[in-house]
Amino acid sequence: SLSDPPHTAAEFTLTERPEGRPMVGRVDRGDRARALVPSRYRVLRMLGAGGTGFLFDAEDNVLGRPVAIKIVDRLDAPEPLLREARFAASLRHPNVVAVYEVDPAARILVMELVAGNDLETVAEGGPLVPQRVVEIGRALASALGAAHARGMLHRDVKPANVLLAED
């Protein structure tokens, strides 16, 4: 899950699978993970691993802003990543993470970095006060409502995928 302890980006590198498809894998040493990411971004650390790949904390060197970079490993084709990016980019909503860039061939998605934790991690800390549960429910319903109004389905709504911003 994305709540795993952070790792340095240097622990990951591009390797080849037997069938010739690229993947991101753990290595003892090496710094080739940065080769996956366009040079305008500086990878700072790995935030965690999810169902489709790895998520990194990075900085956009051109605009001077923090970003999250998702490097997708578990797709047979780049189309699902492009579809995900188009889906998120087409929604302008305060409760939907902004997409800044996508490279389907390299399997990279650059997004807004949300400072905070996912709902799963927060819930593990103990019960939330009822008012906070209502706030989270309303925000989630609003974001999903905006997506559904455009004919889109998320298909993976779960506490680990609900980010709660610190503010």
Q: Give catalytic residues, as residue numbers.
A: 156
Which contacts of 59-67 are long-range, i.e. CB under 8 A and separated by 24 or more positions? 60/100, 60/110, 66/113, 67/41, 67/100, 67/110, 67/111, 67/112, 67/113
DSSP-based three-state secondary structure for 41 = strand
d(CA 10, CA 64): 22
d(CA 132, CA 151): 29
The answer to whether the beta carbons of residues 25 and 17 sit under 8 Å apart is: no
- The two tokens of residue 105 are 């061939």
